[in-house]
Structure 1
Amino acid sequence: MITIISNSKLTASIKHTGAELFSLKNKHNKEYIWEGNPAFWGKHSPVLFPIVGTLKNNTYTINNISYHLPRHGFARDIEFSLISKTDESAVFSIQSNDETLKIYPFEFELQIIYTLIDSQLNINYKVINKTDSKMPFSIGAHPAIALSENFQDYTLEFEKKEALEYSLLENDLISNKTKQLETKEDQIQLNYQLFENDALIFKSLESNSLTILKSNIPYVKVDFADFPSLGIWTKENAPFICIEPWFGYSDTPENSGNLFEKEGILTLEANQTFNSKFSIEIL
């Protein structure tokens, strides 16, 4: 199933599977979200929950019991319910069930709220802990912004001037190796060589947003003020760039396996609610 919301400037289309945004068009019908061609990558903008990235051996423990979770968790593959809708907004929800409890032993509800305001799409995450104990989790976004024509015509500009140090992945885990992005006039020129070792992972940033520019003209702005970490990723020769606000990231090789001890993990108190949001603005 598909739900469509729109205002005078934008139209957003969301699949109920994963509550995944798969289209964001302006009033001239220009598409800003990657089409999902599986020759490169068959997703558009999946939600990452209850983990972000990869667990060591795809395994974690709670109370000395081992559980298995795939990369980025399971929410992106579950059918969400549409629980409310207006012309310009839609609220989707999943709740824990017998199948999720086998791989993630916590009662929860995850809501994803899409709202169009002027030329901006806000995506809100609401995580409700329905368990009478603390609940560890991560959550993140993975929107792929469609880039037409030459990939190298695009640059990234972070909100603040800062040392853009990122962590390197090794075998899908976060290594202790880092590099620093080189800037030219405070911009990062996109090229596929940047991603030869997979995603660029920034554990922390001073910037609250970044802007994608095409030939020095602002194109799309992603605001991630609520999120401490950020991933940036694409595939070789693919016409998209993923700007990924995260709470959490892949395991380190030294990780104990205990989910409560995982670097970057959030812990939600019993019967409490967590809220965060990011936005995609068409410029």
Structure 2
Amino acid sequence: MVTLTNDFLTVTIATHGAELTSIKDNHTHLEYLWQADPASWGRHAPVLFPIVGSLKDDTYRYQGQSYHLTQHGFARDSEFTVSAQSADSATFTLTDSPATRAKYPFAFTLQLIYALDNNSLRVTYRVDNPAQSPMYFGIGGHPAFRVPLAPDTAYDDYYLEFDPRKSRVIIPLRDGRIDYDQRTLAGTDVNQQISHAGFAQDAQIYELNGRSSLSIKSDRTPHGVTVTTADAPFIGVWSQYPNLGDFVCLEPWWGIADTVDATGELTEKFGINTLAGGATFEHGFGITIF
């Protein structure tokens, strides 16, 4: 376990999955991250790589061979090494191995870089392709925030606030896969009430265009959290249903689940990233507490 601290925050990250396990305000001692109650959902903030979401039949094809890869990929269940660390930042590294190549036939170096900046935590994904041929992947975050957050507040006292305040495309899920043809405009120009029933049809998935932030707030407390990304094409909002838990996930994604009509070919997958040989992918998001 790695601990980062500054004047505002104390953050802990596990080497298993390079997963955030705690984000605490040093002044109020308020815990912002869901504490992984296995009775509902036993994770805090898994890293999604080399896919986001699920594949049709948990299978894809590449260069004529089929591979089995379960939802969200293997990084969340892999042991990372700590390759750099200071008081307020740390880098976690995962490289390919015979075990990963059995599921995903690419050489790679994946780094998760966590860095504190006042009351914010910056999460950076760096993917290096050491091969000469291109690699194909998805990556994303899945941080779960406590809702209700403050004492004497309830789950449905909270709402989602998008910035900029404009309508966004929402993409429905059907049996764990996206039904892109049924996408519609969502009223994200106004606040969206949080309720457990709102997740009865699985995650709410929004398309993003340019810099966007999404906040969990309540009029009954000054405390909340904002996730900001400059360029993630999608963000998922999810909580467990019907096995309810007191959390909401805000998930910036560079990738997405298979479409209902997916061919299964990795190179044709909707939302896939293509990284040229010798190239580096570097993107991320920020978490700000208040």
Same fold (TM over 0.5): yes
The verdict on how the C-alpha distance between 1:186 and 1:206 changes in structure 2, with shifts beyond 3 A counting, is farther
Q: Which amino acid aligns with 2:183?
A: T
* Contact 1:19–1:80 (8 Å) recurs in 2: yes
Residue 222 of structure 1 corresponds to 227
Distance in 2 between residues matched to 1:144 and 1:205, nearest whole Å: 23
Q: Within the alignment, does 1:244 sit opposite 2:243 as a pair?
A: no
* Contact 1:160–1:206 (8 Å) recurs in 2: no
Distance in 1 between residues matched to 2:127 and 2:57, nearest whole Å: 26
Distance in 1 between residues matched to 2:209 and 2:192, nearest whole Å: 15
Alignment partner of 1:152: what SS? helix
Residue 279 of structure 1 corresponds to 286
* Contact 1:158–1:207 (8 Å) recurs in 2: no
Query: How far is the alpha carbon of 1:186 from its aligned partner?
Result: 1.8
Residue 178 of structure 1 corresponds to 183
> TM-score w.r.t. structure 1 length?
0.95
* Contact 1:5–1:12 (8 Å) recurs in 2: yes
Q: Which amino acid aligns with 2:276?
A: E
Query: How far is the alpha carbon of 1:113 from its aligned partner?
Result: 0.4
Residue 9 of structure 2 corresponds to 10
Alignment partner of 1:260: what SS? helix
Distance in 1 between residues matched to 2:211 and 2:111, nearest whole Å: 26
The verdict on how the C-alpha distance between 1:44 and 1:10 changes in structure 2, with shifts beyond 3 A counting, is same
* Contact 2:211–2:231 (8 Å) recurs in 1: no
Residues 179-235 of structure 1 deviation map (CA, whole Å, 9 limit, x = unaligned): 54446x821111122111000011334551112112264611110112111100011
* Contact 2:211–2:228 (8 Å) recurs in 1: no
> TM-score w.r.t. structure 2 length?
0.93
* Contact 1:138–1:266 (8 Å) recurs in 2: yes
Residue 204 of structure 1 corresponds to 208
* Contact 2:172–2:182 (8 Å) recurs in 1: yes
> Aligned to 2:261, which of 254, 257, 264?
254
The verdict on how the C-alpha distance between 1:76 and 1:264 changes in structure 2, with shifts beyond 3 A counting, is same
Distance in 2 between residues matched to 1:111 and 1:86, nearest whole Å: 16
Alignment partner of 1:84: what SS? strand
Distance in 1 between residues matched to 2:90 and 2:231, nearest whole Å: 21
The verdict on how the C-alpha distance between 1:33 and 1:232 changes in structure 2, with shifts beyond 3 A counting, is same
Q: Within the alignment, does 1:146 sit opposite 2:146 as a pair?
A: yes
Distance in 2 between residues matched to 1:232 and 1:109, nearest whole Å: 28
Residues 42-97 of structure 1 deviation map (CA, whole Å, 9 limit, x = unaligned): 00000000000000111111111100101000000000000110000000000000
Distance in 1 between residues matched to 2:183 and 2:284, nearest whole Å: 28
Give the number of aligned pairs. Answer: 281
Query: How far is the alpha carbon of 1:178 from its aligned partner?
Result: 3.1
Distance in 2 between residues matched to 1:249 and 1:106, nearest whole Å: 19
Residue 30 of structure 2 corresponds to 30
* Contact 2:168–2:207 (8 Å) recurs in 1: no
Residue 165 of structure 2 corresponds to 161
Alignment partner of 1:48: what SS? coil
Distance in 2 between residues matched to 1:192 and 1:281, nearest whole Å: 24
Distance in 2 between residues matched to 1:201 and 1:15, nearest whole Å: 27
Query: How far is the alpha carbon of 1:118 from its aligned partner?
Result: 0.2
Q: Which amino acid aligns with 2:256?
A: Y
Structure 2: gaps of 5 or more residues: none
> Aligned to 1:263, which of 258, 266, 270?
270
Bigger drift between 110-119 and 188-197 goes to: 188-197
